[in-house]
Amino acid sequence: MEDTIFGKITRGEIPTEFLYEDEHCVVIKDIYPQAPTHVLIIPRKPIPMLSEADADDQALLGHLLLVAGKVADQLGVGDAFRLVINNGEGGGQTVFHLHLHILAGREMKEGELASRLA
């Protein structure tokens, strides 16, 4: 796969504040926040998109979900957040290195997801 900005960030080649990091992933603030809290959980392994993950990635994918819960807690939004993964161009993905968005701090409207899908 081609390198991406997230590859450079996870390797430390672009100085970026990590809100959380461990051997498997880093968490950064989104540069164009769509909510008062908007952070990205990025695995160090450069999987282009969720649909290209395979059975070997099972533990990593579970880990990313657990980190999401932990980081949401640390950010004080542990009981009210939305977790989003955009998959592929048609799914709104723009950076082709798997990442999870945590969005919080504003009302998450019921119809918002449906209207984006329409």
Has 97 been annotated as catalytic? no
Question: Would you say 16 or 70 has its CB closer to ligand 5GP?
Answer: 16
Using alpha carbons, select from 83, 106, 1 the residue that is nearest to residue 49.
1
Q: Which listed residue (24, 38, 63, 99) is catalytic? A: 99
| Minimum CB–partner distance for residue 16 and ligand 5GP (Å) | 6
- Please, which residue, 49 or 77, has the CB nearer to ligand 5GP? 49
Structure tokens that stand for 100 in this block: 């999870």
Residues facing residue 37 across a β-bridge: 104
Task: Report in angstroms how near the CB of residue 37 gets to ligand 5GP at its nearest.
Answer: 13
| Per-residue CA distances from 9 to 17, 25, 74, 108, 116 (Å) | 9, 11, 22, 29, 28
The residues annotated with a catalytic role in the active site are: 99
